[in-house]
Structure 1
Amino acid sequence: MISSPPKLRDELEVIRGMDDIPLIFDPVTGNYHRITRAGEVVLTYLDGTRTRDDLVAFLSRADQDRAAALSRQIDTFLAALDRSGLLVGSALPDKPQDGRRVRTSMLMPRIILTRSLPRLLEPVAILLRAVPALLPVLVAVLGALAGYAFGLHTLFTATPPPQDLAGPAFLIATGVMLLYVLLHESAHALVAQVLGTPVRGLGIALLFYFMPVAYVDRTDAYRFKGRGGRVLLAMAGILMDGWSCALSGAVALNSTGLVHDTAALLLGMQLLMLIINLNPLMPSDGYTALEAATGLTNARGRAFALLRHTARRQELPPHLANLSTAARRGHMAYGLFSAVYVCLLAYAMFHAVPVTVDLALSAVGR
């Protein structure tokens, strides 16, 4: 229990973020803490002049029944603020070392490659802000759709047999694909720059400590309220990949030999990247865009819980039972789509493993 009059640290910033959700920004850690609107009201009284009991008495307005329930809620809220180091006298979190480029987590250590993207992208962002917002969006979307259609058509009609793609073509395609991934992440960074929420850095994360994954730290996107902008921010990388896909397809159609084989392999890798980026079961770009568009959180968890309870004919928990009919159908459709996606992905991976192994072995001369 918090005994002394609780007071929020002076340097903290209380803002309204996406979907008008209240947030506490801690400049020491750079973290955002999501709170409820009721919690936002309580924060205005954490000025160090009221004790915990004063808060309960003031907010309950002498209603004894309400005071009992409010007392528990206030204790829980203050304890959460204290654990996060947000109150004066709380154990402060370790302040990040300036310039530190390596951060670790349980499953994904991250290495920052550069923090200069905002400075490099600002001249382009200035130009984009000067034109009607809808114009670059339409160009990006239509170009990406055409690029995917053209590139995937080329992949399935002009790709030589897998055994002809082994060796140098595989190695070169892997190197070029890394450049495409950097373009993908830079697209996210450019949209964030245009929206006024610059990324904090560009880096590489090691998923499960061995699988390299490029990323940009767009934590401050929490500050942007508009759903349309947040959807575009999430989809920017996928749109850039569509343009890259068109480039690979054009090279494949207008070349022969090693260059043709390399471009054909790139198209296959880009198809795989598209599948990964639309993965509904992971925090992929597609999933992030879905959450941004709908304003939902944990849509995946709700969808599978709904499917599980429905299949077992169990009584729905309150947070699912209170869903509207349209929301329930939407969650069911999402869960079924995810199940079909998993089945198709497993089928494709099962058939792709022998080909991938052959290409990898041939690339090292075996």
Structure 2
Amino acid sequence: MLETSARLLRLLSLLQAHREWSGADLAERLGVTPRTVRRDVDRLRELGYPVNASPGTGGGYQLGPGAQLPPLLLDDDEAVAVAVGLRTAAGQGIDGIGETSVRALAKLEQVLPSRLRHRVSALNAFTVPMLRGPVASAVDPAVLTELANLCRDAELLRFEYRDRPHSRTTPGGGTSIGAPTRRTVEPHRLVCSERRWYLVAWDLDRDDWRTFRVDRITPRPPHGPRFAPRTPPAEDLAAYVSRGVSTRAYASHAVIRLRVPLEEAAERVSPTAGTLEPDGPDSCILHTGAASLDVLVIHVMMFGFEFDVLEPAELTEAVRTARDRLARSLARAGESMPRTPDGADRTPGPRSGSGAAR
């Protein structure tokens, strides 16, 4: 049996990791009797931890917001500083710590007293960040923590979802946006990539796994009930989401060999632009997509690497078309075309043969 102090810490960790526990479940996890669990809960309350209890067969223990910050953790100023830092990291998608920030924030906000939650909200509401690089659509940290809690507790999520803008233009010259759709899903994980957040979930209406952009989600509670978690669609969910947003989401797909080591390619090819696989020490394979083959040519050229087209064969023809168009443009500008080592003019002529584009 665990010593009392270690058992209290273990009990507190369990209460933070799950929304609600029955007394029997806690007793089994801790290796004690339900009566000991009740005594330990009373000790946590004496220390200032807000543990709520509901009676009956469907009742249990739940960690809720308290009247005072529990001792031996953080004072008021430290708690506010940590909460603001976590909200900033969660809302801006800082590389490598975004998902961890959401989980930590979800735990912290459970025990922040009301006065501190108001201070944190005010600081976030009246602070304007100055960031380098493009800023993606804003994601409400409250939505992130709500989704994280539902993933943690395996509860159904009900929400409205705004799909991507349609390709047709409106009379005012912009793109039209479809009406929000109502969705009910089993949320599995949040994935952060650069400055965007995605939710991987099982869509009950589509009977399949789907990836949703969090900035397009508007939760519509009540949520629930709980569900039995399914086997995820892939072991590496980051790669799964990357393939979805960079390739599967587009009409045209391509497989390209980049003539540089994978590490060098990864410095320019972001997870939302394509997925990379090793292909020996001096090359790698890029899987990517775009709205059309012509756009794919530009997309791949902008990486600035030598490349071979592996799939589809039609993309090689699109590369030739782009090459000829550029050659004609240079010719009209009065520039001489480059010559081969034997002095022959490389001005495009009749095409023959096929093969990988370089």
More strand as a share of residues: 2
Q: TM-score range by the shorter chain?
A: under 0.3
More helix as a share of residues: 1
Structure showing greater Rg = 2
TM-score using structure 1 length: 0.24
TM-score using structure 2 length: 0.24
